[in-house]
Amino acid sequence: QSALTQPASVSGSPGQSITISCTGTRSDVGGYNYVSWYQQYPGKAPKFMIFDVNKRPSGVSNRFSGSKSGNTASLTISGLQAEDEADYYCSSYTTSNTWVFGGGTKLTVL
C-alpha cells in the first residue's frame, strides 16, 4: 500500500499558525471523507486529533482544525504552543477496504 505524502518537517513560533498537508489519491483521501489525524510524542501511542476530515473528538483543543481539497487533506494548528511539538500523521480509509498512513511530519515549535 502506498503511503500518503506529508512534509517531513514544519516549524513555527509560539502563537503562530502552521498547516501540514497530506496528499493521497482518488483511491483514498480524494475518494472519501474518512481522513483522520494523529499526534504522537516520542515513545507514546498516537492520539486521535481529527476525524471525518474536520471533526474534533471530545477533549481536543479547537486550535486544531482539518480540511480537504481534492486529494489533499490539511491539518492546521493555530496559536502554536510548546506542547504541540510532536509528530503528526494523517490516515485515510481506502477503496481496498484498508487504512493507510502518511509518512509523518515533525512539528518544531521554535
Residues 34 to 93 in contact with other proteins, rule: CB under 8 A: 34, 36, 38, 45-48, 51-52, 57, 89, 91, 93
Instruction: Verify binding: residue 32, other proteins, rule CB under 8 A.
Output: yes
Instruction: Verify binding: residue 9, other proteins, rule CB under 8 A.
Output: no
The answer to whether the beta carbons of residues 100 and 28 sit under 8 Å apart is yes
Q: How far is the CB of 15 from other proteins (least distance, A)?
A: 29
96 or 108, CB closer to other proteins? 96
Binding residues for other proteins, rule: CB under 8 A, are: 1, 3, 32, 34, 36, 38, 45-48, 51-52, 57, 89, 91, 93, 96-104
